Amino acid sequence: MERNAVNPWPWSLQLGYNQAELIKGMSRQLICAGQTAVDGEGRPQHAGDMRQQIALALDNLEEVLKAADMNLGHVIRLGIYATDVDEALKNFDLLGQKFGPFNNAPPMTLLGVTRLAMPELMFEIEATAAVKR
């Protein structure tokens, strides 16, 4: 699979994402549902703590990817939903810590929402991943 970053402006790279990526030669794609800060039984965790919720949502995303024999390096797009965008942005270093080792800055969209599926949840991340086999 060939990935080429498309960045007509460099400002998004400072925030950890590409404006777009041109993907060629993909043979396997995974569409992930939104991952949140829930435990293995689907119970919300870390009520009121955005940083811990982001960390757990990212861990849960990694588990979904792993179950499909993929990792964060295979992610080609992110959709992020937060009940407090400013608080989420303060903790985006967690995304850098997770995606940085893979040298991956997938295109993303961050949306502020009034609430998520369960009132305790503050952050949700969905991903599309792809590999060449």
pLDDT tens, position by position, 101-118: 999 999 999 999 999 999
Mean pLDDT value across residues 53-81: 95
Q: What is the CATH number of domain 2-131?
A: 3.30.1330.40
At 14-23, the pLDDT tens digits run: 877 888 877 7
Instruction: Name 6's bridge partners.
Output: 20
The structural domains of the chain, with segments of one domain joined by +, span: 2-131
Output the pLDDT for position 23: 77
What does the DSSP 8-state code read for residue 67?
Answer: H
Could you tell me the pTM of the whole model? 0.85
Instruction: Name 111's bridge partners.
Output: 81
Instruction: Name 30's bridge partners.
Output: 129
